[in-house]
């Protein structure tokens, strides 16, 4: 279980009320992913009980299954099975499409 400061969770709840099934908290943690394409590294941008937004340099395909290890500060790493639900594709100018 990931322990979060109550104030962080309450602020996130207020920001996402009515938008998401599970509230998200902004966290930047290192991630090692074992994907069909091989190993890759990334960073979490936010995380919730229902998922995580992970930024990485290699695009995966929707519905890809993979395992990941999230390195949390001062705790044991989290080993999780995951599926790609959606992807952001950067435009040539570096902005998200």
CATH number for 31: 2.40.10.220
Calpha distance 83→80 (Å, rounded): 10
pLDDT by residue (tens digit) across 38-93? Answer: 899 999 999 888 888 999 888 888 889 999 999 988 889 999 999 998 888 766 65
CB contact at 8 A, 67 and 34: yes
User: Which two tokens mark 29?
Assistant: 């943690």
Residue 11 lies in a domain: yes
| Chain centroid to CA 58 | 14
Calpha distance 72→38 (Å, rounded): 22
CB contact at 8 A, 26 and 46: yes
Query: Full-prediction pTM beyond 0.75?
Result: no
- Domain of 18, in residue numbers: 6-83
- Under the banding of pLDDT at 50, 70 and 90, the label for residue 96 is low
Residue 94 lies in a domain: no
**Higher per-residue pLDDT: 7 or 1:** 7
- In 3D space, the residue among 97, 12, 95, 74 whose CA is nearest the CA of residue 49 turns out to be 12
């Amino acid at each position: 279980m990931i322990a979060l400061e109550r104030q962080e969770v309450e602020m996130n709840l207020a920001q996402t009320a009515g938008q998401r099934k599970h509230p998200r908290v902004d966290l930047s943690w290192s991630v090692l992913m074992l994907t069909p394409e091989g190993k890759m590294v990334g960073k979490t941008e936010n995380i919730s009980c229902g998922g995580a937004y992970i930024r990485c340099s290699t695009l995966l395909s929707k519905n890809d299954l993979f395992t990941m290890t999230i390195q949390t500060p001062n705790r044991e790493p989290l080993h999780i099975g995951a599926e790609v639900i959606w992807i952001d594709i950067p435009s040539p100018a570096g902005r998200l499409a």
